[in-house]
Amino acid sequence: MPEPTRAVPQQDRMKIPRQAMPTQEAEARAHNFNEVALGYEELLAMLEANRCLQCKRPKCVEGCPVGVDIPAFIERLREGDLPGSVRSLKGENNLPAICGRVCPQETQCEIVCVMGKKYEPVAIGRLERYVADWDVAHPSPPPEMPPPSGKKVAVIGSGPAGLTCAGDLARYGHTVTIFESLHAPGGVLIYGIPEFRLPKHIVHAEVSYVRSLGVEIEMNAVIGKTHTLNELLQQEGYDAVFLGTGAGLPMFMHIPGENYNGVLSANEFLTRVNLMKAYLFPEWDTPVKVGRRVAVVGAGNVAMDASRCALRLGAEEVHIVYRRSASEVPARAEEVHHAEEEGIVFDFLTNPIEIYGDDKGWVRGMRCIRMSLGEPDASGRRRPLPMPGSEFDMNVDMVVMALGTQPNPLVFTDSGGLERTRHGTVVADEQTGRTTKDSVWAGGDIVTGAATVISAMGAGKRAAADIDRFLRGETVPQPAAQTAAAAG
């Protein structure tokens, strides 16, 4: 364990510069799937921990979607009390090793850090990762479990929302079964986010932990097919159900030529590469075909992941094609930065309008149009408008559509009473996760649309607490009000 450091006087703390994250060098890492960010060593972690001013009214806690007691975990770290730091961290965050890697700290905790006003914000995410990785390497024994409540809960989906909800419910004493449609648990953590950003052994460690609490995971169970919601509640004896199936339905542009060979959804591309480990073909059986000149349409985290995977799989040139400008890019800042360093080309204010193919059905090019930004639309972002006459052709042999995702409607088969919005998301109370269907809660992307791991995790926690109250008869199960959200 690290040596505790004497509390450095405040004015000296501010002189410590923000500690850079050791990173695999760009040229090398563009050809391997090893983790890019290597993690702090002890000295860097201690230096960074000393930068925290331990504010009396910590803004960072307010900025965190789940209110992690950030000053507390940093102080324990600085004191050399790693187990204590882990406890502070895991009080609110069940998945710190993951969040430390994938949270957009630059829009959550770090952006409001007081140190950021005059200097650089405390590298809260990097410290979280350091502490969480220590925890993974030194697993504590499973917590003492309360006596079984005799109640059964079905959790649908083993992504961040489901894993979190299941873990908390188990710790409350309930019997939990997670139903996962794929053959491996983790959801987007295992099929979406690449190894170089989130090593799978971290995900396996989180899943092992949840299993150690007595949670069963039934794989290859497609709710809506193998079982239905109503069957789980009415025939299989579950007292409550949590829906955490995420937003797995890929979006396409519906432009001409979108079905040529070599045009795929980012979901397909990433599932082949990450879940099915196509980068290990032929040792692993699932192939993936990557062109020499690749266009990835979109600029979210998924687009960054897809473009960087394409590069690692041998593409000579990879373009991000985005209809808005650099300042509107929704992806996590570090991913954009890493993508730029690796040589991904960013074509801003550009939108595809047609895809061309050859006589064998393979994509060979894409016609794009330049965009300009007009007045803000409903989302608050400036609306992109095509500039007539600016059409040009892009020579590509692979196109990946990373336009966003929506909830997969399969889960809604035989689930009468579950109100949805017109976007296909489930109506659920923000504080409790209750849906309009008796005994059914929901959280994560299935409610919010594609969002963050931490937001899903927080929803899983809140729902678990409410389900627990319900199962103990402490609350009357009032379904979520059919609010304006349902209407539109």
Partner 1 sequence: MYEILHRQDLAPVSKLLVVRAPVVARKARAGQFVIVRIDEGGERVPLTVADYDREQGTVTLVFQEVGKTTMQMGTLQPGNHFASLTGPLGLPSEIKAYGTVLCVGGGVGIAPIYPIARDLRAAGNTVISIIGARNKDLLFWEDKMRTVSDELIVCTDDGSYGRKALVTIPIKELLESGRHIDHIWAIGPAIMMKFCALTTQPFGVPTVVSLNSIMVDGTGMCGACRVEVGGQTRFVCVDGPEFDAHKVDWDQLLARQRIYPEQEKQAVERWMHKCACGR
Summarize as ranges the residues that interact with partner 1 (CB under 8 A). 181-183, 219-222, 225-227, 248-250, 252, 254, 258-262, 264-265, 267-268, 271-272, 276-277, 280-287, 289, 360-361, 408-410
Cβ distance to partner 1 smaller for residue 7 or 219: 219
- Measured from the CB of residue 306, what is the shortest distance to partner 1 in angstroms? 13
Spatial distance between the Cα atoms of 293 and 274, rounded to a whole number of angstroms:
21
Q: Dihedral sign for Cα 176, 177, 183, 187, please.
A: negative
Would you give the distance in Å from CA 208 to the centre of its chain? 19
Q: Minimum distance from CB of 242 to partner 1 (Å)? A: 19
CB of 222 to partner 1, least distance (A): 5
The alpha carbon dihedral of 333, 92, 13, 137 has a sign of negative
Report the nearest approach of partner 1 to the CB of residue 453 (Å). Answer: 18
Q: Which is nearer to partner 1, 108 or 271 (CB)?
A: 271
Name the residue nearer to partner 1 (CB basis): 58 or 262. 262
* Cα–Cα distance measured from residue 149 to residue 173, given in angstroms and rounded to the nearest whole number: 5
The residue type found at 60 is C
Q: How far is the CB of 254 from partner 1 (least distance, A)?
A: 7
Does residue 282 have a cis bond before it (omega within 30 degrees)? yes
**Least distance (Å) from partner 1 to the CB of residue 365?**
17
Q: How far apart are CA 444 and CA 247, in angstroms?
A: 9
The two counts, helices (H) then strands (E), for the chain are 19, 16
State how far the Cα of 391 lies from the Cα of 374, in Å rounded to an integer.
Answer: 19
- Report, in Å, the least distance between residue 220 CB and partner 1: 4
Q: What is the pairing mode between strands 398-401 and 263-265?
A: parallel
Contact 351, 323 (CB under 8 A): yes
User: Could you tell me the two tokens for 125?
Assistant: 């995410």
Q: Chain-centre distance of CA 308, in angstroms?
A: 17
Closest CB to partner 1 among residues 4, 287 = 287
Per the structure block, which two tokens stand in for 74?
């940093």
Which one, 246 or 433, has the nearer CB to partner 1? 246
Which C-beta is closer to partner 1: that of 227 or that of 370?
227
CB closer to partner 1 out of 117 and 183: 183
